Amino acid sequence: MATVNIRVATAEDAALILRFIRELAIYEKAESSVQTDEAGIRASLFGADAKARALICEAGGEAIGYAVYFYNYSTWLGRNGIYLEDLYVSPQQRGSGAGKALLQHIARIAVAEGCGRFEWSVLDWNEPAIRFYEAAGAKPQSEWTVYRMEGDALQAFAEG
């Protein structure tokens, strides 16, 4: 495989990122859950008030993956952390070291910025991802259950 290059994504990458998001959603058996479009990606990742950041992974001049992350906060540590929302490498490039390079790149950002944690979620059936993350030294947090409020439930709760 060609040398992996990781770069900060730009607004011009919005269509590429959306393509990768759709590919990831297909892999995760949730294609119909993708509700954003190119304009939504451009606004949420590259707009003036963007809270998340994106990276593009390239090999041989071709984009082969991406990652999206944002900062969270630990009251117990009194420090920021990084939450990895997405890490995706094209199927034909998996096993090439690209995913590890993306993960290490973000880990280096976390260390350089004094973050206390680097966290993410993985689907419980995604054995290849679980093996990959555990091989990197990550440990599952089985004592925590993720809760989510979205769509109509979020709207109804907010309204009171």
The CA distance from 8 to 112, in Å, is: 16
List, by residue number, the catalytic residues.
133
**Token pair of 53, please?**
């950041």
Number of H helices, E strands in the chain: 5, 5
Query: Do the Cβ atoms of 133 and 102 come closer than 8 Å?
Result: no
**Token pair of 24, please?**
């990831």
Who's near 117: CB < 8 A, 6+ residues apart? 72, 74, 77, 79, 81, 82, 110
Where are the extended beta strands (E) located within the chain?
Answer: 4-8, 52-59, 62-74, 79-89, 118-120
Residue length, the chain?
A: 160
